[in-house]
Amino acid sequence: LNIPYERIPVDVVNRDNRQEMLGEKNPAVKIPILELDDGRYLSESNAILWYLARGTKYLPGDAYQQAKVFQWMFFEQNSHEPNLAVARYWVWVLQQPERFRDQLGAKQAAGREVLQVMERTLLTQTFFVAEQYSIADIALYAYTHVAPEGGFDLEPFPAIRQWLARMKSQPGYVPMDE
């Protein structure tokens, strides 16, 4: 959206000063948190996406299509993030797959089911809602494009791989590390 912003990195492993740093900004003491120009705060990645996307081409105006966007964003929070992001956290962020080996297999199996749902959908459509690039795609892109870091092989998911490439080629795409 070309909105200027300042990015403040937060250590996701060392959580010693979490309460002091984030407690007044988000009662759940989690990131991401968006601080608005007027000093108000907003947390939950998908609430932030919705706030920024209102009135832009990234959120359809039609009520049904908007609800479909939410359908995928709730799917991202309920099914996708708890499996793909958590497996990646154990394997790639903490580098401790052994410590979590009792639970890791189940997380990865559930994550593969989620990827199957996405694959089936993307076999017949270019984006998740109304053939239009929206915040539903952005929400799902986040932990899908780094899924291999959580031990997920994307080779059996060609439609997802094509969608990832399509996402990367969208105008205004900014890689995570920039």
Ligand X SMILES: N[C@@H](CCC(=O)N[C@@H](CS)C(=O)NCC(=O)O)C(=O)O
Which of 21, 25, 42, 44 is the binder for ligand X (CB under 6 A)? 44
The residues facing 11 across adjacent strands are none
- Interface of this chain with ligand X, residues 56 to 115, rule: CB under 6 A: 77
Residues 6+ apart with CB under 8 A from 61: none
Specify the stretch interacting with ligand X by CB under 6 A; choose among 11-19, 129-137, 146-154, 163-171: 11-19
Binding of residue 15 to ligand X (CB under 6 A): yes
Question: Is residue 134 part of the contact set for ligand X (CB under 6 A)?
Answer: no
Question: What is the number of other CB atoms lying within 10 angstroms of the CB of residue 165?
Answer: 10
Stretch that binds ligand X, among 26-34, 55-63, 126-134, 148-156 (CB under 6 A): 26-34
Answer yes or no whether residue 149 interacts with ligand X by CB under 6 A: no
Pick between residue 46 and residue 108 the one whose CB is nearest to ligand X.
46
Q: Which residues of 58-82 are buried (b: 16+ CB within 10 A; e: fewer)?
A: bbbeeeeebebbeebbebbeeebbe
Q: How far is the CB of 129 from ligand X (least distance, A)?
A: 19
Given CA atoms 48, 133, 72, 156 in this order, what sign does their dihedral have?
Answer: negative
